[in-house]
């Protein structure tokens, strides 16, 4: 996506990251949900004219990856290469994800810096050698506290997330002195109440830290698929320490100080709630130990549920995003999950709900409005956008409605990460414009061939078209393909989002569509859905 002219060289980038995803299997809806959210957020800030950096990638070390590769009779690296190139990167391209970088934890630019970071902590006496025995979930790549486990009917202890038996591991490890950072973390949370979102997630983390932290095992010695500990090659660095450091290594830590200073720390880490503690406890403690700045915000999204279960391959509820995009289209897919689910809360997916919202809001309210306006400009004015010379209270209300939609959506999406409410603010305006057309009845006004009647007709249609221009700007970060199509049909500037007047915060400035612009009725933005494909 093109940068805007208002970006300032040397300014701190608005830096957003997704989790780096395990490549033990192909991506499903849950992975895409977080990645689309990050893409919408960064596109929004980019369309504000800000300097932006959006990072995603893959987590490729650890016991789970090693076992998956073994089960498929390939090396771990071969497995990772195959999944990344054939599944992960193609999906992000398919979903129009405009990430600035894609980091893989097997890349040398990452592994070298991880070793340097851990060596620094060791040299500072933040790491010591010890032993550990306890329940371990390979799926989470995490030692579990006994109180975290759930019990099966036969008494077997299970991971509460994966619902699979944990393994009891005993090994010699190196430990990071995490326990000493409890007071510093609590002080930081107190001084920065917005660091963890939503509030329920913040409360969970604060209570967890208040109970007392244990030192963190930062190495494993029972397998070798990982980054070697630099001072002891019998150990590999714990996969989560390795993984968290991607947020620093990807933006130049230890290699490009200028880029690092202009990017780090992240303004927003988007994470699933099941990995919140790693990002809100371990990660800031590691940064504090190294004297580096702490991220601005860790935002935990909820789980996507199917049949009451978290969506995952292990629960057999994984659904491929392509199953939905082939039916609803990519833009509708990007819109639906952020519209239907409050970010931070769990949400249930159903095909029926998607179909109903698509038909009601996208096809009927929005798409039909665009088609009607273009058709009437074509019918009554030969496709040339007329001048509004007879505006009154009704038009003033529409102008105020657009200004309100701009203000609210910019605050909600750009600042508060409340994608659902921000999208609703935009679509409330779409409903207002539909109501305006219904009340003004341009098809009846057109029968009045007097100068006053034609001026009134011109004003109604210019008002509707100018409203759609504002909507196209606001929806561009969410639905870029259909927004550009609408933009083109209105005869507006071809490069949507490239000019200062097209920035989201300026979308409410009235009168930007030039009189005489050629308005064309293009393809239907959101076609009628075919029958649901057979399972």
* Residue 89 appears among annotated catalytic residues: no
* Residue 313 appears among annotated catalytic residues: yes
DSSP annotation of 1: -
- The pLDDT score that the predictor gives to residue 223 is 87
Question: Residues 6 or more apart from 354 whose CB is under 8 A from it?
Answer: 324, 328, 336, 340
The total of other beta-carbon atoms located within 10 Å of residue 6's CB is 12
177-232 pLDDT, tens digit per residue, is 999 999 999 999 999 999 999 999 999 999 999 999 999 999 998 888 999 999 99
CB of 269 within 8 A of CB of 295?
yes
Please, what sign has the CA dihedral across residues 164, 170, 175, 178?
A: positive
> pTM of the prediction?
0.90
The mean pLDDT of the chain is 91
Interatomic CA distance for residues 136 and 535, integer angstroms:
37
Per DSSP, helices labelled H in 220-282 are: 239-244, 246-249, 257-263, 276-277
Question: Residues 6 or more apart from 58 whose CB is under 8 A from it?
Answer: 20, 21, 22, 23, 80, 83, 84, 88, 102, 103, 104, 105
CA angle 64-305-202, nearest 5°?
80
- The pLDDT score that the predictor gives to residue 6 is 43
- The pLDDT score that the predictor gives to residue 7 is 53
Of 159, 269, 273, 279, catalytic: 159
**Does an H or E element contain 136, and which?**
strand 127-137
Question: Residues 6 or more apart from 145 whose CB is under 8 A from it?
Answer: none
469-506 pLDDT, tens digit per residue, is 999 999 999 999 999 999 999 999 777 876 777 899 99
Of 80, 137, 269, 327, catalytic: 137
Exposed e or buried b per residue across 179-212, where buried means at least 16 C-beta atoms within 10 angstroms of its C-beta: eebbeebeeebeeeeebbbbeebbebbbebbeee
- The pLDDT score that the predictor gives to residue 310 is 57
Closest to 479 (Cα-Cα) out of 328, 326, 329, 335: 335
Choose between 141 and 290: higher pLDDT: 290
Indicate the pLDDT class of residue 135, thresholds 50, 70 and 90. confident
* Residue 162 appears among annotated catalytic residues: yes
* Residue 80 appears among annotated catalytic residues: no
Q: Is the pLDDT of residue 136 over 50?
A: yes
- The pLDDT score that the predictor gives to residue 318 is 60
Of 82, 94, 157, 162, catalytic: 162
291-300 pLDDT, tens digit per residue, is 999 999 999 9
| Least confident segment among 110-114, 137-141, 470-474, 513-517 | 137-141
- The pLDDT score that the predictor gives to residue 5 is 39
- The pLDDT score that the predictor gives to residue 9 is 59
- The pLDDT score that the predictor gives to residue 319 is 77
Indicate the pLDDT class of residue 253, thresholds 50, 70 and 90. very high
Long-range own/partner contacts, residues 424-432 (CB < 8 A, 24 or more apart)? 424/339, 426/471, 426/474, 426/475, 427/361, 427/365, 427/366, 429/401, 429/402, 429/404, 429/405, 429/467, 429/470, 429/471, 430/365, 430/366, 430/369, 430/471, 431/365, 432/397, 432/398, 432/401
- The pLDDT score that the predictor gives to residue 340 is 95
Q: Give the CA distances from residue 442 to residues 101, 375, 436, 438, in Å, rounded to whole numbers and listed in that order.
A: 49, 12, 10, 8
Of 129, 210, 234, 313, catalytic: 313
- The pLDDT score that the predictor gives to residue 399 is 98
321-364 pLDDT, tens digit per residue, is 999 999 999 999 999 999 999 999 999 888 999 999 999 999 99
- The pLDDT score that the predictor gives to residue 464 is 98
Q: Tell me, letter by letter, the H, E, C secondary structure of 281-329.
A: HHHHHHHHHHCCCCCCCEEEECCEEECCEECCCCCCCCCCHHHHHHHHC
* Residue 94 appears among annotated catalytic residues: no
Please, what sign has the CA dihedral across residues 79, 81, 84, 85?
A: negative
What backbone torsions phi and psi does residue 198 show, to the nearest 5 degrees?
-75, 180
* Residue 137 appears among annotated catalytic residues: yes
What backbone torsions phi and psi does residue 71 show, to the nearest 5 degrees?
-65, -25
Interatomic CA distance for residues 392 and 329, integer angstroms:
39
Choose between 70 and 533: higher pLDDT: 70
CB of 84 within 8 A of CB of 221?
no
86-129 pLDDT, tens digit per residue, is 999 999 999 999 999 999 999 999 999 999 999 999 999 999 99
């Amino acid at each position: 996506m093109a940068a805007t002219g208002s970006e300032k060289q040397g300014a701190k980038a608005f830096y957003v990251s997704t989790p780096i995803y395990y490549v033990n299997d192909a991506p499903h809806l849950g992975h895409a949900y977080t990645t689309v959210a990050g893409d919408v957020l960064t596109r929004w800030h980019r369309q504000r004219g800000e300097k932006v950096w959006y990072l995603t990638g893959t987590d490729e070390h650890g016991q789970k990856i090693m076992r998956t590769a073994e089960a498929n009779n390939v090396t771990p690296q071969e497995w990772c290469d195959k999944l990344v190139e054939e599944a992960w990167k193609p999906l992000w391209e398919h979903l129009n994800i405009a990430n600035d970088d894609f980091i893989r934890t097997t890349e040398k630019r990452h592994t070298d810096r991880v070793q340097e970071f851990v060596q620094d902590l060791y040299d500072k006496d933040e790491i010591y050698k010890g032993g550990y025995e306890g329940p371990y979930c390979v799926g989470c790549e995490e030692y579990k506290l006994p109180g975290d486990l759930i019990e099966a009917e036969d008494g077997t202890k299970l991971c509460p997330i994966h619902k699979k038996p944990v393994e009891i591991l005993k090994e010699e490890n190196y430990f990071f002195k995490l326990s000493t950072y409890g007071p510093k973390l609590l002080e930081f949370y107190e001084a920065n109440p917005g660091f963890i979102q939503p509030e329920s997630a913040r409360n969970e983390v604060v209570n967890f830290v208040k109970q007392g932290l244990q030192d963190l095992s930062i190495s494993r010695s029972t397998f070798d698929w990982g980054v070697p500990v630099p001072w002891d090659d019998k150990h590999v660095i714990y996969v989560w320490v390795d993984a968290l450091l991607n947020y620093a290594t990807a933006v130049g830590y230890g290699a490009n100080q200028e880029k690092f200073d202009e990017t780090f720390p992240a303004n927003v880490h988007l994470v699933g709630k099941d990995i919140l503690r790693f990002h809100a406890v371990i990660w800031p403690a590691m940064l504090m130990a190294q004297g580096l700045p702490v991220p601005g915000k860790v935002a935990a999204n909820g789980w996507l549920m199917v049949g009451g279960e978290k969506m995952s391959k292990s629960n057999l509820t994984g659904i491929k995003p392509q199953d939905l995009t082939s039916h609803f289209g990519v833009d509708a897919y990007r819109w639906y999950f952020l519209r239907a689910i409050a970010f931070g809360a769990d949400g249930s997916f159903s095909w029926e709900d998607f179909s109903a919202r698509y038909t009601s809001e996208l096809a009927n309210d929005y798409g039909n409005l665009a088609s009607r306006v273009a058709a009437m400009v074509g019918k009554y004015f030969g496709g040339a956008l007329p001048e509004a010379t007879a505006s009154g209270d009704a038009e003033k209300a529409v102008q105020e409605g657009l200004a309100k939609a701009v203000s609210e959506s910019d605050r909600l999406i750009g600042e508060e990460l409340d994608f659902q409410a921000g999208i609703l603010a935009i679509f409330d305006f779409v409903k207002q414009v539909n109501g305006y057309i219904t009340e003004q009845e341009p098809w009846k006004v057109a029968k009045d061939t007097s100068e006053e009647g034609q001026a009134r007709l011109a004003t109604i249609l210019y008002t509707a078209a100018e409203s759609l221009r504002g909507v196209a700007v606001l929806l561009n970060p969410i639905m870029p393909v259909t927004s550009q199509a609408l933009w083109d049909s209105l005869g507006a500037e071809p490069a949507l989002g490239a000019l200062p007047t097209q920035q989201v915060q300026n979308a409410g400035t009235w009168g930007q569509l030039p009189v005489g612009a050629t308005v064309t009725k293009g393809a239907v933005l959101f076609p009628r859905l075919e029958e649901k494909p057979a399972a």
